[in-house]
Amino acid sequence: MSDLFDLTGRVALMTGGSRGLGKEMSIALAEAGADLVIGARNKDHIDQAATEIAAATGRKVVPTVLDVTAPASVDAFVALAQRTFGRIDILVNNAGTNIRSPIEKISDADFRLVQQVNVTGVFNCCRAVVPHMVRAGFGRIINMGSSMSLVGLAGRVSYTASKGAVLQITRTLACELARTGVTVNCICPGPFATEINRPLMENPAMAADLLGRIPMGRWAEMREIRAPVVFLAGPASSYVTGAIISVDGGWVAQ
Ligand SMILES: NC(=O)c1ccc[n+]([C@@H]2O[C@H](COP(=O)([O-])OP(=O)(O)OC[C@H]3O[C@@H](n4cnc5c(N)ncnc54)[C@H](OP(=O)(O)O)[C@@H]3O)[C@@H](O)[C@H]2O)c1
């Protein structure tokens, strides 16, 4: 059974690996045996995260500055992985952002930024790794959606639009790549207490409203993202593609 979750010899790319869910999932993949290349915009933060993950797991973890909105930066990220390890088995499209606002107050720039990071970033990274994965006849692409890929929420139109698109990218690429050995799946988290949710955590009324939507009535614990990503990255999920794993305390079950 443990072989089904063994990532020994695999190489994973993690976007947004410097903190939050990206760092947590990087630790999980490394503990399962994968080596990693992790990227984010802030150099100090990504270097520090790589040092910590490598020390905690004993795996090789290569940090790099990455902006997923810039195709040249994404190409350099992928080239670094090829140069360092000679292979790319797993891509986790985790980098993301959220700007909360009622529609009449959203600037063009803010709406565009959310789509650029959450949608164009996922597209850029998929387009860059797919040729390597198809050539190898194996690949695992894991996209970070959200409960808001599946349900609407007032004041979140930039984010829900972008995460709905992530789900459709997932489904379309799953169909497109189904006979190549490459699977494409989506994790849809509910609320985790990370930087992206700082505005909620600092606003008790907003936090209470959100928790009121969660049947389990609590925030997720960070470790609760680990098993889903290892499952989708490993041999256990070989016949799973185009799927959603909700990790949301039951939010979208209602
Ligand atoms: N936390 C939740 O409750 C929750 C729920 C549902 C879905 N999600 C999704 O899960 C993913 C991770 O969220 P999180 O909560 O861990 O957020 P977070 O703590 O804010 O971390 C976001 C990560 O993405 C990086 N990043 C942001 N813009 C980037 C860009 N243009 N290029 C490369 N890296 C970039 C950040 O580093 P830099 O700023 O240094 O670039 C950071 O490493 C996101 O896609 C988010 O939408 C989170």
Q: What is the Å distance from ligand 1's center to 50 Cα?
A: 16
- Per-residue pLDDT in tens (0 to 9) along the chain, 254 residues: 779 999 999 999 999 999 999 999 999 999 999 999 999 999 999 999 999 999 999 999 999 999 999 999 999 999 999 999 999 999 999 999 999 999 999 999 999 999 999 999 999 999 999 999 999 999 999 999 999 999 999 999 999 999 999 999 999 999 999 999 999 999 999 999 999 999 888 999 989 999 999 999 999 999 999 999 999 999 999 999 999 999 999 999 99
Residue to mutate, 19, 66, 162, ligand 1, most ligand atoms under 8 Å from C-beta: 19
Rg of the chain over Cα atoms, rounded to whole angstroms, equals 17
| Whole-number pLDDT of residue 177 | 99
| Whole-number pLDDT of residue 200 | 87
Query: What are residue 143's DSSP bridge partners?
Result: 93, 186
128-132 long-range contacts, CB within 8 A, separation 24+? 128/71, 128/74, 128/75, 128/77, 128/78, 129/13, 129/78, 129/88, 129/91, 130/173, 130/177, 130/182, 132/78, 132/82, 132/87, 132/88
Architecture of domain 2-243: 3-Layer(aba) Sandwich (3.40)
Q: Is 148 in the pocket of ligand 1 (CB under 6 A)?
A: no
**What is the arrangement of strands in the sheet containing 11-15, beginning at the earlier edge strand?**
61-65, 35-40, 11-15, 90-93, 139-144, 182-189, 244-247
| Whole-number pLDDT of residue 2 | 77
User: Where do the domains of the chain lie?
Assistant: 2-243
Q: Is 159 a catalytic residue?
A: yes
Query: What are residue 101's DSSP bridge partners?
Result: 156
Q: What is the Å distance from ligand 1's center to 95 Cα?
A: 4
| Whole-number pLDDT of residue 1 | 76
Helices (H), 37-184: 43-57, 71-85, 108-115, 121-136, 157-176
Residue to mutate, 77, 94, 147, 206, ligand 1, most ligand atoms under 8 Å from C-beta: 94
Query: What are residue 183's DSSP bridge partners?
Result: 140
Q: Identify the active-site residue in 159, 192, 231, 251.
A: 159
- What span, in angstroms and rounded, lies between the C-alpha atoms of 198 and 98? 11
Q: What is the Å distance from ligand 1's center to 232 Cα?
A: 19
- If you take atom 43 of ligand 1, which residue's CA is the nearest one? 16
Q: Is 67 in the pocket of ligand 1 (CB under 6 A)?
A: yes
Q: Which amino acid is at 196?
A: I
| Whole-number pLDDT of residue 128 | 98
DSSP state of 156: B
- What span, in angstroms and rounded, lies between the C-alpha atoms of 118 and 143? 10
